[in-house]
Amino acid sequence: MMLTGLLIAPVVTAVPLAFYGHRRFAPYVNMAGSAAAFLFSVGLAWQVFDQGPIQTSGGSFFVDAFNVFLAVLTAFVSMTTAAFSRPYMAHEFKQGRVGPRRMRLYHAMFQLFIFAMLLALLTNNMGILWIAMELATLATVLLVSLYRTPESVEAAWKYFILCGVGIAQALFGTTLLYFAAERVLGEGGTTLHWTNLNAAASSLEPTILSLAFVFFLAGYGAKVGLVPLHNWLPDAHSEGPTPISAVLSGLLLNVALYAVVRCKVLVDGATGTNRAGQLMMAMGLLSLVVAAFALFLQRDVKRMFSYSSIEHMGIMAFAFGLGGKLATFAALLHMLVHSLVKSSIFFTVGHASHMHGTQQMDRIQGIIRGNPLVGWGLVVGVMAIAGLPPFGVFVSEFLILTATMREAPFLAPILLLGLAVAFAGLLRKVQPMVFGAPPAHQVPVRAAHVPVILHLVIALVLGLFIPSFLSQWFETAVSMMRW
Amino acid sequence: MIFAPELLASPTPIFLATLAVSLWLAGTLLVPVLARRPVWLIRSAFSLATLGSALAAVGGAWAVAAAGNEAIVLPIGIPELPFHLRLDPLAGFFLVVIGAMGFFTSIYSLGYVRGIAERRPVGGLVLFFLLFLAGMGLVVLADDAFLFLVAWEGMTVSSYFLVVFEHEQTANQKAGFLYLLMAHVGAITILLAFGVMAAFATGLTSFEGYAFDAMRRADIAPGWATAAFLLALFGFGLKAGIVPLHVWLPEAHPVAPSNVSALMSGVMIKMAIYGIIRVTFDLLAAIPWWWGALVLALGLVSALMGVLYALMQHDLKRLLAYHSVENIGIILIGIGLGMTFHAFDLPELAALGLIAGLYHTLNHALFKGLLFLGAGAVQHATHTREMEALGGLIHRMPWTAALFLVGCISISALPPFNGFVSEWLTYQAFLLSPSLPSTLLNILVPIGAAGLALTSALAAACFVKAFGITFLGQPRSRHAQNVSEVGITMRIGMAGLALACLLLGILPATLIDWLDVIPRQFVGAGIAESASSHGWLWLTPIAPERASYSGTIVFLGIGAIIGLTWFALHGRRHRAPRRGPAWDCGFEKMTPRMQYTATSFSMPIRVFFGALFKIRERSSPMHVHRHAAFPERVSYSLHVDDRFWGWIYKPVSDAAFWIARLTTRIQGGRIQVYLIYSFLTILVLLIFGR
Amino acid sequence: MNDPLPYILTIAQAALLLLLAPFMVGWVRLVKARLQNRRGAGPLQPYRDIRKLFAKEAVVAENASWIFRFTPYLVFGVTVLAGAIVPILAVDLPLAPVADVIALVAIFALARFFVALAGLDIGTAFGGMGSSREMTIASLAEPAMLMAIFAASLITQSTSLSTMVAEIHKGVLLKPSFAFALLAFVLIALAENGRIPVDNPATHLELTMIHEAMILEYSGRHLAMIEWAGMMKLMLFSLLGIALFAPWGIAGTPGAGSVALAFGVMAAKLLLVATGLPVLEMGLAKLRLFRVSEFLGVAFLLATLAILSHFILER
Amino acid sequence: MSPVFLAQVVDLLSALVLLLGFGLLAQRRIYALLHLFAWQGLFLAANTAIVAYGAGVRHLYFSALLTLVMKVALIPYILHVLIQRMKIERDVETMVNVPLTLLIGIALVVLSYNVMSPIQEFSTLMTRSTLAIALATVMLGLLMMITRRHAVAQVIGFLAMENGLFFAATSATYGMPMVVELGVALDILIAALIFGVFFFQIRTTFESLDLSKMARLKEDVGE
């Protein structure tokens, strides 16, 4: 019931929004739909927490601790993003940047996007997973070009092409996976079910699976934003509407990484080595370092934070690649807190760019004077994302570092170098935006404070105290990992 | 658990300490509540801070006095690693430093922040002031690496927000950026150091290893111990401002509000000293001699470079900030000597070095706090920190001047105030270096003593300048005219510190008696038996034949002679001195502009030590009307810069930007190129990744 | 407390210093005048100067603060206290443990600190110039001074003046480290007391003044105290040198006979120093300010050599 | 028909698919590209149908039909209409160094074979030898996307890549499960529609479908 509700809520919401998305009440419908999805997700989580993994009849959907946690996160962040998008999009509408048609498109696609992500998370079928990932791209690509500026069209095109190429590789990987599975499980619709594959993982042909993983990594990795497949990411984040940047960074990347990890589990089961993990570590570290340095010379504020997302996805990929209880636990926690903090940053950034009528950082100044809560939200968010205690990111990075020092001590300095450089890059740019005297062109905007505060408070609490249900949850998810 | 009622009836030191931290933290809740009543906010929050500080000081002093060693565990933190707290004498001592400084600074702030509140909202200042205190309190109380780092970074971040409190100035932002960045890098290396130690404690399979207790028990391979030590030294050194890691300090400390500068210079950088002592003497415990020698050498370099750079400053607070570098150096000299002696198994001598370092830690906290508060009072009254614009303040701000003078004398290591005692102890430690069984050290260490002597003499020169240019002479600009004395709370805050400076100067033996438990804890010996063997009046660190000092008698003796002379001269035919104009050398129009300035005062030293600075001096005649030799005006500009900036920091920053530029080329805009990346990635993965 | 002699001696030492210092300076000036083929004033002239100054009205610059007026008292007090501490006639006097040799140097530094402040207090160019130079030279002299002390203390295993004097008295004769340390001490003492070649106590030529520039504004009793203290300081340094490097004759235990002998020997040695000093000064020219560092560098070098030779030759 | 003969036909058709891949790589004119793409789809569909027949896999007929409808009819038609409506320049572009591109293509085929040959060992299907061709087709499509500067050409490259993927599914496992096949087809259809929307958007904002103008979004090193 919960599962059905969770999947249907966004679709049901999307339909009226496709027709009435420009009306005054539309944002509230949007919020209500997301809230409903969130409630369903919590209910689902409760079920999983209570009864253990759930598999629907026929096995098309499989819910375990790993994906239900991400589903709750997705539903939660989409709910807060919907709350944020209400004043944000109202401002855009008032400024004439989007007309009624595009408001309809925006609202409908937003819900469709949420649906695609939830589907990708909850499906048991590796093929459906692929389809849902592609659907998520398709849903967002028109949102990226919502403003129809040359830049946004260009960004959307690049997003579409690069992710399309990437995801095509993933399909090849899926084919190979099916090829390997068919030999063991026989032909049929259930062969691609992750649960079946997982059960039979050790008898899958390792040669095929390790080849398949290459394609999975190159495919879903492009969506994760791993360097050097990341080029679409800064463009799409900077040119799309800010709520979309928030969910792209906060959710889509997670979902893509989730897909990679699901594949990795299978591959590890087949090969019995951590070769796949090593590839993830390599790409993760590369992403971390490159993105960290790229932060330095950014001028567009959303672009900069999209690089920060690349950096953090690199960290997570690295941690998942590292494997082991501790690193995986940390990576899951990092997923959670990164989503929360990064989306809250995008919320504040969205308001800040409205206040100044630009996303160019050198024209943004003195936010803290113009709107203290936005300013503090941004600076605290940046501190949090940069890994300063007592926020949750610090805890997860601390754990990742611990695991690194245990497993691969000589990578620890690189990891830390990346973190330090990223910190420098972010702080250097954020400080003048937040502080200073407000410039003449700054105007007040109506801001949605609750989502920002909510996200940051949760991130703060997680830095000091991880509730036992959450850690148990993580533990269960961790137990799924083989390496 | 810790708030159990029976504890209230019979509190323990750690209860007081945690209560203090809780009070500081609880005070932050006042900020949103009283956001619209700044006056009430200031009164209530800083009263609470005062109370908390007093509790902390009492708790710490008690822990030292009772040689207590209590630990508690709080049920928050990460799974399997709850927050461990411990109050041992070392922590207690530093808690006293925090508490004492917090106490006086909070009192001072009652008046000082009121002045700021007239110009701008102070909610942030109050909030982060309290968080800052709480962070420092937790740093010393932390008994596991995780909590330590949380507290450490909490302290850093809250002080960062205090540094950029007046964020409209770009200088403040730059300082804040540099500070937070470097502090963060430091924290990262500290984290690595703890990681190494934890790895040897439990192999990182569980989080137990991050508890300090496990690290104490761990048997760390010498090579890795050295790695941990160097990492920790780097990290703590960054915070302490050891040369060449000091560049953030003179930028950040001056731009913060002065009550915060006092805490930062007086207390926060001491947390790094705490960290060094904790890691070396306590956690690693086995110390090779060269660690001590390294700390000693770094201390010497810091002391010398710090004071020399300080001499070049004409911004009062910047000057004081550089002196913090100097004094951290002096503290480290004591600790480095202690480590060296400890390594050669000379416990009494090690105790002497350690005590000298700790004593100077406390002293520096007090007098540097006093000086920063004084500088704050000057800034409060004149709205400038620029010494070249000041002068003659002693007439209008007699209290501030007198109290600031006490600080100047103390920091210049002149008897009978406290700075002298600790430096004297350091000299005594130096003079015991012949006991070291290494001829090389025997020869080299005395030269270090000479370096210390040079440092303290230069410090005296610097504070003649600081006090003389700021408070004496005639006003150099309108800033210094028409000023008035600061309010009573600010004066009380400063007076308390000044009194403490004097008391620590004349009662050293008592203090050492109290302090002695710390070296006993770590090196297994103390010096109290000999140091106060002749009663509280006499300080005889090793043996009375060896060396002795009595601050009390110096103080009373000089006072008595002065009194006698005064009575002798004034008793019989006293004539009040006549006031007359100063001798003008025959030149009739003396103006305040003809006075010596801060820049001219330090000119000879600039010449003598010129090679150490990057000096850009330019003087060019302007408005030449009649003859080239008689310009109407001369423009003169002088920039004295830190050489380390160009040696270390600029190359690092340039390299970072160079790499950054390289990385931006990846994003060249052409989709074909991006596709090539994907293509190549697949190829590479296919070829190497299978 | 049952034996009053040590206390009497302590006071006697200080009194001796007060009384004899002007004579010593007068003697130095006389010898110098004679060497310069002048007749010169008699050795008692400083007493007359001081008396006259005490009688004169004190004029204080308009801008001067209490620091300016307090400084003479402090300088005077510090110097007298030092006179009570340094073992002139006997070791182990009750006040001797108050300060070891490092503390003694620091006490003088306190006086200098205030004089330099007083120089800045009036707000004229000269005062500042004097303060600046004085503090610069002092900071260069201090390390050399400490090295010399260190050399001496290496041999005696102590920095307590009494112990040092007693140790040296017991058995140190010709040691190379000692000779080097003595030389260094002499150079530093010249600098500390503002003698040629570092400073010229007789000059009032604007640009060469150091010490005199700081006290230019003093008059009357204030000037008297400062001048007197300066004389005492010169004598104290001479005595310190004698005590450290040639303590023969000093009273090991306070007793009337030995003290009397000590007094005689001390007076003779002091006279010798007071004669030697002008002779030395005659042979030197005043250095430019920026050459002073070289002069003090030599002192530092000598002191370091003393330490080195202690470790290399005497162990 | 004997299985051997069928296998030979399959091999022949797959060779043709590959050849068309090279043709796409070298062709400049846009209509010709479209035609080549349609031909590729046709051969693919034929191939699929023959495999379905040879292996007796019923649902592959459906797949073949799907391919025929989508890749041969619908998508080329949509693109054709779009090109006509938008009056897109006929001569697409000047490509850099066609011979070099073809050489790289050949290298890709070799690589694909090298990559796939260990995998083929595990296959017992009649299509096992075409696996490498499928990968090569994917790679050639990607290469085409790299070398083209025209949006339509790039889209055709993308679709050619999809062809390769479909081919791979057929050759490796006689097609994916039905639900997956359908979903993939749906996605591709939506993608094609969105491509159409994009052509309009690009056309209106850039006044040309030449992608070389779309290089505004980059890191400017201003500091």
pLDDT at residue B393 above 70?
yes
D96: burial class by Cβ within 10 Å (0-12, 13-18, 19+)?
exposed
- Helix/strand/coil (H/E/C) assignment for every residue in A216-258: HHHHHHHHHCCCCCCCHHHHHHHHCCHHHHHHHHHHHHHHHHH
- The overall average pLDDT reported for chain B is 89
* Cα C117 to Cα A214: distance, rounded to the nearest angstrom: 77
| A-D contacts (CB, under 8 Å) | 142
pLDDT band at D221 (very low <50, low <70, confident <90, very high): low
Please state the rounded mean pLDDT for residues C240-248.
83
The answer to whether D105 and D145 have CB atoms below 8 angstroms apart is no
- Residue pLDDT, tens place only, B294-309: 999 999 999 999 999 9
Strands B81-87 and A62-63: unpaired
What pLDDT does B574 receive?
A: 65
**For residue B591, what are the contacts with CB-CB under 8 A and spacing of at least 6?**
none
Please state the rounded mean pLDDT for residues B236-259.
92
What pLDDT does B263 receive?
A: 95
Count of domains observed in chain C = 1
Domain that holds residue C11: 5-313
Share of chain D above pLDDT 90, in %: 18
- The overall average pLDDT reported for chain C is 87
Residue with tokens 């009570």: C84
pLDDT band at A76 (very low <50, low <70, confident <90, very high): very high
Task: Determine the length of chain B.
Answer: 690
- The CA dihedral of A264, A266, A272, A273, to the nearest 10 degrees, is -10
Is the Cβ of D214 closer than 8 Å to some Cβ of chain B?
yes
| Neighbours, chain C (3 or more CB pairs < 8 A) | B
For residue A91, the tally of other CB atoms under 10 A from its CB is 16
Angle formed at CA D30 by CA D29 and CA D33, multiple of 5 degrees: 90
| Neighbours, chain D (3 or more CB pairs < 8 A) | A, B
Closest alpha carbon to B337 in B318, B348, B350: B350
Chain A, 294 to 353: residues with Cβ < 8 Å from chain D are 294, 297-299
Terminal Cα distance for chain A, rounded: 34
- Residue pLDDT, tens place only, C196-233: 888 888 777 777 788 888 888 899 899 999 999 999 99
Closest alpha carbon to C172 in C314, C276, C303, C272: C314
Residue with tokens 């050194």: B237
pLDDT at residue B252 above 50?
yes
The answer to whether B264 and B256 have CB atoms below 8 angstroms apart is yes
* Cα D214 to Cα A162: distance, rounded to the nearest angstrom: 14
pLDDT at residue D130 above 70?
yes
Instruction: Please name the member of B670, B679, B687 whose beta carbon is closest to the beta carbon of D215.
Output: B670
Q: Which helix (H) or strand (E) holds B496?
A: helix B488-506
CA distances, B575 to each of B99, B503, B564, B569, C59 (Å): 48, 35, 17, 9, 11
Instruction: Please name the member of A131, A148, A161 whose beta carbon is closest to the beta carbon of D184.
Output: A131
In B505-631, the DSSP E strands lie at 578-580, 613-622
DSSP string of B377-437?
Answer: HHHHHHS--BGGG---HHHH-HHHHHHHHHHHHHHTT-TTSHHHHHHHHHHHHHHTGGGSS
Residue with tokens 């398709």: A138
What pLDDT does B572 receive?
A: 61
pLDDT at residue C89 above 50?
yes
Determine whether the interchain pair D169/A153 forms a contact, defined as Cβ–Cβ distance below 8 Å: no
Report the residue of C11, C60, C102 to disrupt the B interface, i.e. the one with the largest count of B CBs within 10 Å.
C102
Is the Cβ of D216 closer than 8 Å to some Cβ of chain B?
yes
What pLDDT does D90 receive?
A: 62
Domain boundaries, chain B: 287-567, 609-690
Share of chain A above pLDDT 90, in %: 58
What pLDDT does C231 receive?
A: 94
* Cα B24 to Cα B37: distance, rounded to the nearest angstrom: 19
What pLDDT does C286 receive?
A: 86
Chain C residues with CB-CB distance to B559 below 8 A: 77
D53: burial class by Cβ within 10 Å (0-12, 13-18, 19+)?
middle
Three-state secondary-structure class, residue A364: coil
Report the residue of B562, B579, B597, B602 to disrupt the C interface, i.e. the one with the largest count of C CBs within 10 Å.
B562
Residue of D nearest to B660 (CA): D221
Share of chain A above pLDDT 70, in %: 100
Determine whether the interchain pair C144/B450 forms a contact, defined as Cβ–Cβ distance below 8 Å: yes
Residue of D nearest to A125 (CA): D180
pLDDT at residue C22 above 90?
yes
Instruction: Please name the member of A166, A425, A432 whose beta carbon is closest to the beta carbon of B678.
Output: A166
pLDDT at residue A176 above 70?
yes
Please state the rounded mean pLDDT for residues B628-637.
78
- Residue pLDDT, tens place only, B532-543: 777 888 888 888
**For residue A38, what are the contacts with CB-CB under 8 A and spacing of at least 6?**
A72, A75, A76, A78, A79
Chain B residues with CB-CB distance to D212 below 8 A: 670
Determine whether the interchain pair A294/B666 forms a contact, defined as Cβ–Cβ distance below 8 Å: yes
Please state the rounded mean pLDDT for residues B254-262.
93
Is the Cβ of B562 closer than 8 Å to some Cβ of chain D?
no
What pLDDT does B2 receive?
A: 46
Which range, of A212-226, A298-312, A448-462, B566-580, averages the lowest pLDDT?
Answer: B566-580
What pLDDT does D223 receive?
A: 45
Determine whether the interchain pair D212/B668 forms a contact, defined as Cβ–Cβ distance below 8 Å: no
pLDDT band at C1 (very low <50, low <70, confident <90, very high): very low
- Residue pLDDT, tens place only, B356-380: 999 999 999 999 999 999 999 999 9
pLDDT band at C315 (very low <50, low <70, confident <90, very high): low
Determine whether the interchain pair B665/D111 forms a contact, defined as Cβ–Cβ distance below 8 Å: no
According to DSSP H, which parts of C86-175 are helical? 101-121, 125-156, 161-171
Chain D residues with CB-CB distance to A293 below 8 A: none
CA distances, A104 to each of A14, A107, B28, C253, D63 (Å): 9, 5, 45, 107, 35
Q: Closest Cα of chain B to A447: distance in Å?
A: 19
- Residue pLDDT, tens place only, D146-167: 888 888 888 899 999 989 998 8
Share of chain B above pLDDT 90, in %: 60
Report the residue of B172, B188, B231 to disrupt the A interface, i.e. the one with the largest count of A CBs within 10 Å.
B188
pLDDT band at A475 (very low <50, low <70, confident <90, very high): confident
The separation between CA B633 and the C-alpha centre of its own chain, rounded to angstroms, equals 42
Peptide bond into A390 cis (omega under 30): yes
pLDDT at residue B6 above 70?
no
Determine whether the interchain pair D177/A157 forms a contact, defined as Cβ–Cβ distance below 8 Å: no
Angle formed at CA B409 by CA B406 and CA B410, multiple of 5 degrees: 85
Three-state secondary-structure class, residue B70: strand
Which range, of B137-141, D85-89, D179-183, averages the lowest pLDDT?
Answer: D85-89
Chain B, 470 to 499: residues with Cβ < 8 Å from chain C are 472-474
Please state the rounded mean pLDDT for residues B413-420.
92
Report the residue of D117, D119, D139, D146 to disrupt the B interface, i.e. the one with the largest count of B CBs within 10 Å.
D146
Mark D169-205 as b/e (b = at least 16 C-beta within 10 Å): bbbbbbbbbeebbbbbbebbeebbebbbebbebbbeb
Is the Cβ of A227 closer than 8 Å to some Cβ of chain B?
yes
Which range, of B80-89, B250-259, C299-308, D207-216, averages the lowest pLDDT?
Answer: D207-216
The answer to whether A122 and A62 have CB atoms below 8 angstroms apart is yes
Determine whether the interchain pair B473/C122 forms a contact, defined as Cβ–Cβ distance below 8 Å: yes
The answer to whether B230 and B189 have CB atoms below 8 angstroms apart is no
Q: Closest Cα of chain C to B412: distance in Å?
A: 9
- Residue pLDDT, tens place only, B189-208: 999 899 888 888 877 667 77
ipTM of predicted assembly, 2 dp: 0.90
Tokens for A90?
A: 């109202």
Q: What is the pTM of this model?
A: 0.92
Three-state secondary-structure class, residue B69: coil
What pLDDT does C9 receive?
A: 84
Q: Quick one: residue A272, left, alpha or beta (phi over 0 = left, psi -120 to 50 = alpha)? A: left
Domain boundaries, chain D: 3-211
Is the Cβ of D211 closer than 8 Å to some Cβ of chain B?
yes
The answer to whether C299 and C144 have CB atoms below 8 angstroms apart is yes
C170: burial class by Cβ within 10 Å (0-12, 13-18, 19+)?
exposed
Q: Bridge-partner residues for B619, per DSSP?
A: B636
Closest alpha carbon to B466 in B541, B368, B611: B368
